[in-house]
Amino acid sequence: QSALTQPPSASGSPGQSVTISCTGTSSDVGGYNYVSWYQQYPGKAPKLMIYEVSKRPSGVPDRFSGSKSGNTASLTVSGLQAEDEADYYCSSYAGSNPRVFGTGTKVTVL
Amino acid sequence: QVQLQESGPGLVKPSETLSLTCTVSGGSISSYFWSWIRQPPGKGLEWIGYIYYSGSTNYNPSLKSRVTISLDTSKNQFSLNLSSVTAADTAVYYCARDLYARIPEVDCSTTNCYAGWFDPWGQGTLVTVSS
């Protein structure tokens, strides 16, 4: 099972929105509503931001939202803040290899 | 709140077995799935496998032949053994609680039928494979 495909980088100015894509296949992202997103600062452990495509855990700002269309899931960060500068990873159920991660996207706040 | 802490040697010789333990505090290990995930320096995340409190396990097919995950409910700990390590196994190893969901449309007798997401994570521990 290959890693899900994410763009290496994305950027936006403070206050703007940035959207990160996570592309898989009908056997993973497209087939089930079990995509999750993680935020990771350098040298730190990842943090869950979104689960089941669009659900936010308690404590995650509502500036973070998730969606899915076909084989591509997306994470949108609205009202970008300096603290949103981090790496972001998606993950999906993928059958026999039930937890597959994306390649990761570095978000830069300009 | 649940917290996880990895422990184990930071240096392992090639061909030997990497052994790590994750201690869970603030909650019982006797529920949920519990996963190991790794991240080579400068690279992305890779799921290694999970264990359920019943003892049932599921591993990444690419690592399955070398991985064993076990559980000690009396100590609220779960462990990772990765055998025959090479330099490619050098990574930060994370343990995490795996909040699983049964997928109703998937037949468990033919494939894994549990999706999951990870929360919380341990802080991670760097394991270097070198002689």
> In the prediction, which pLDDT does A97 show?
84
B98-121, pLDDT tens digit by residue? 998 889 888 888 888 899 999 999
> In the prediction, which pLDDT does B31 show?
85
Which B residues 51-80 touch A at CB under 8 Å?
58, 60-62
CA B127/CA B116 separation, integer angstroms: 25
Residue A52 contacts B, CB cutoff 8 Å: yes
Residue B111 contacts A, CB cutoff 8 Å: yes
> In the prediction, which pLDDT does B92 show?
98
User: Does the beta-carbon distance from B114 to A98 stay under 8 Å?
Assistant: yes
Identify the closest residue of chain B to A49 by CA–CA distance. B119
Q: Which residues of chain A have pLDDT under 70?
A: 1
B23-56, pLDDT tens digit by residue? 999 999 988 999 999 999 999 999 999 999 889 9
> In the prediction, which pLDDT does B17 show?
98
- Look at residues B130, B120, B48 and name the one whose alpha carbon lies nearest to residue B81: B48
pLDDT mean across residues, chain B: 95
> In the prediction, which pLDDT does A1 show?
65
Which A residues 64-103 touch B at CB under 8 Å?
89, 91, 93, 95-103
